[in-house]
Amino acid sequence: MSWATRILKVGRIVQASPAAPARTVPSPTGTRASLQIRHVDAGSCNGCELELSGAFSSVYDAEQFGARLVASPRHADALVVTGVVTHNMRGPLIDTLAATPEPKLVIAMGDCACDGGMFRNGYGVAGAVGDFVPVDVELRGCPPTPDQIVETLRKVTGR
Amino acid sequence: MKRDPVASGTAVRSGTGVASGAPAVSGGVTAALGALGVVVGLRAVFGAPLHASIGWLVPFAGLRIDLDPLGGAFMALTGAVAAAVGVYAIGYARREHWARFPLVMLPVFVLTLLVVPAAGSVTTFLFGWEAMALTSLALVLTEHHRDEVRSAGLFYAVLTQIGFVAILVALVSLSSASGSGDFAGIRAAAGDLGPALRNGVFLLTVVGFGSKAGLLPLHAWLPRAHPEAPSPVSALMSAAMVNLGIYGIVRIDVQALGGGPRWWGTTLMVVGAASAVFGVLQASVSADLKRLLAYSTTENMGLIAMAIGASMLLGASGLASVAAIALTAALLHLVAHAAFKALGFLAAGSVLAGTGLRDLDRLGGLARRMPYTTVLFGIAALGATGLPLGAGFVGEWLLLQSLIHTPQGDNTLLSLVIPLSIGALALTTGLGIVAMVKAFGIGFLARPRSEGAEKAREASPTMLVGMALAALGCVVVAVAPAALGPALTRVASTLPSVGGDQGPKLGAILRLPGAAGSVSPAILAAAFAVAISLVLLLARWGVGARPAAVVRPLWAGGGPALTPRMQYTATSFAEPLQRVFDDVLRPDTDVAVTHVAESRYLIEKITFRTAQADAVEEHLYWPVVRAVAAVARGVRKAHTGSIHLYLLFGTIGLLVVIVVGR
Ligand code: SF4
């Protein structure tokens, strides 16, 4: 019975979720509590990735609010783009958005994605995400915390 | 078009001397002979037996023709294949510029194929058999300027002659013991023959006829000769000639000897199951389209031998009604195999003629350039998978039913053999699907993997007509096997030892007497057609209300456009299977990594080489060949050139003769 006692001892891992924020962004598909996300790393320092994986970990568990990471833009309703857009990732970013079926949403995550952040004007940098694809939601922070990420996603999923 | 000398199917280019109408004449005569075979064969199946005797044609014994329903059925089947191949050969020979020799040999080969099942006496049979072997050998060697063809010819010649010797010994001892030179006489006297002779004849016929049918272990000529022969010839060999191996076993062991003890059937089942599983495994890892089809022939002949073995075993165990189902399965699958394998080889020939390739790793994308051939090959491949709506389904289903419905009781032999053969059958069918999905998917779909495939040319009209004839056969067997019912009943009635007189009736719904289970291919096909049209109708419904389609670039994982190199190849598709069955297949793979001189972490190049050899050939044939060569070398040592030594040998020999003969 050691596993049972251990479960009892550890208790609840998932953080108690705060009250749902107001639904400020209309869900692209018009449904509630369902958002399929394809993540694109356009040239990030990987700080944002760490926090994103934290947001989807068992502690913050963004999936309980209806957000899911999917493997292909063909399955996605929204793109989460992290990092500044580098010259090499400019084409793939545009292609990925083209490969995502309509209606769709672009979430720029992190200061880099929103306006170039600390890498702005770097030699390999082409620009911010908004310079190349239309951005619907901006999520500031360097990097944004999992709490912030979950909160932003909940604004879209409405849960 | 640049042609690869290895992969090309170009025949010996005729310089001059072959009139432009010659292919039409050769193909036309072949097709006419085939049609004649169908008519005569069917008359023998349904009408009175045909007898004819031409004294002067074959030395010593004369030619003797006796056509009963069994021989008639094989003749009609051979004729049907020949008719399709003949029409096809008109276009093929023209496109591949056949020389005069193969043009003449093709109808001769068909004639010998028709003589064998019609033979009424041992001499006529052996004469026809050897003539068939020689003409087919000559046709295999059409492109004799290539090394592979010569080596294939050698393999074929040796194995077919080993088989012939076995058949010769069996039939001659049978006819001398029964005091009669014709099959009817042998049959009448078969009951009085001693068990030793009967057993010996059985074993020899399994070896001899098995080598022609491509059964293990004398199958190795098949995957060599069929790919190297011109495609119409491969089709004739694979769809008509190998059948005659089965014919020999049925004619001699089942009909003339009237079956035997239970180990006969068991032996045939074991050989058949081993051939089926081994053949399909080799087919599923083969990257050469025609080699794949050749191994699939070994597989299907194995299944047919298994079915005949099952019917013999069950007949000898007193289970006549189940035995009859197995016999029907064997006969039906024989017809189905002839149809889909003829079509398969003809379509492979069209691919070879249209692209110069038969290497699946370099084909692909033919669906666009050769749409008709693609559809026709698809019909053949579906037939070979044994799935419903394919030609091979009904026969395999019947065989499975006969095995499942065998009451095993407390019979140890049956309760051991039957479940194992069900397993072998299931494995064979499953792997058969892999092999055919590979042949069709890699060969015809996706994007072309080489320049040859990119510039493929659709087959000429006569080739398409020939293939369409074979496809018609496939569809009939798949959808309306009932059409074959009356003929099969007549054939089975000549084989009472395996319960042939109480076989299942092939109506629109196949019902099995004395066993639960029925299936209706026709209703299945109709339901399928209705479902497809419903889906199409629904898809069209409300098309106007939907937004117009938008064209976007292909999603390539964010990278640049997909290239043909990113696709699965036949080798990579079969790789997991090759890994799983490593111990049986024993592939010869070799990976060599060259590192950059400055650092072991950087790789300059990787060389990967893989070759799929035949394990049986490697571990059975070559040791024998090496032993013979070693003995020959030993004998050569005695040949020193010294006359004194030779005199001594002579004296010793003489002494031995005197002492022994005293
Ligand atoms: S926003 Fe900050 S954490 Fe995110 S990619 Fe840019 S620098 Fe890294």
Q: Alpha helix (H) ranges present in B119-261? A: 122-140, 147-178, 183-189, 195-213, 222-228, 231-236, 242-249
- If you take atom 6 of ligand 1, which residue's CA is the nearest one? A112
Query: Does A151 sit in the ligand 1 pocket, CB within 6 Å?
Result: no
For the Cβ of A62 lying below 6 angstroms from any atom of ligand 1, the answer is no
Ligand 1 mutation target, pool A81, A111, A121, most atoms within 8 A of CB: A111
Strands A125-127 and A85-86: antiparallel
Give the whole-number percent of chain B exceeding pLDDT 90: 8
Mean pLDDT score of chain B: 83
Using the predicted structure, report yes or no on whether residue B5 has a pLDDT greater than 50.
no
Tokens for B83? 């008719």
Domains of chain A in sequence order: 31-157 (3.40.50.12280)
| Distance to chain A for B555, nearest Cα, Å | 6
Number of alpha carbons in the 13 Å side-chain half-sphere of residue B355: 32
pLDDT of residue B10: 43
Q: How far is the CA of A46 from the centre of ligand 1 (A)?
A: 7
Closest approach atom of ligand 1 to CA A110: 1
CB pairs under 8 A between A and B: 17
pLDDT score at A38? 95
More confident residue, B456 or B339: B339
- Band (pLDDT 50/70/90 cuts) for residue B18 is low
Decide if pLDDT at B8 tops 50: no
What gap in Å lies between CA B156 and CA B365, rounded to an integer? 34
Q: Are A99 and B559 an interchain contact pair (Cβ–Cβ within 8 Å)?
A: no
**Could you read off the pLDDT of A59-100 as tens digits, one per residue?**
888 998 999 999 999 999 999 999 999 999 999 999 999 999
**Which residue did the predictor score with more confidence, B323 or A137?**
A137
Extract long-range pairs of B52-61: CB within 8 Å, 24+ residues apart: B58/B123, B58/B124, B58/B127, B60/B123, B61/B121, B61/B123, B61/B124, B61/B181
pLDDT in the model for residue A55:
93
| pLDDT in the model for residue B499 | 67
Strands A67-69, B603-611: pairing is unpaired
Query: B508-543 burial string, b = 16+ CB within 10 Å, else e?
Result: eebebeebeeebbbbeebeeeeeeeeeeeeeeeeee
Distance (angstroms) between ligand 1 centre and the Cα of A109 equals 9
Give the global pTM. Answer: 0.81
- C-alpha–C-alpha distance, residues B355 and B449, integer Å: 12
Place of tokens 């502690």: A59
The neighbour count for residue A138, using CB atoms within 10 Å, is 18
User: Chain B residue closest to A90 (CA)?
Assistant: B558
Give me B217's structure tokens.
């272990």
Q: What is the pLDDT of residue B119?
A: 83
How close is the Cα of A143 to the center of ligand 1, in Å?
Answer: 5
Q: How far apart are CA A17 and CA B73, in angstroms?
A: 79
- The finding on whether A144 has its CB within 6 A of some atom of ligand 1 is no
B138 and B8 in contact (C-beta within 8 Å)?
A: no
Answer for the pair B175, B122: CB distance below 8 angstroms, yes or no: yes
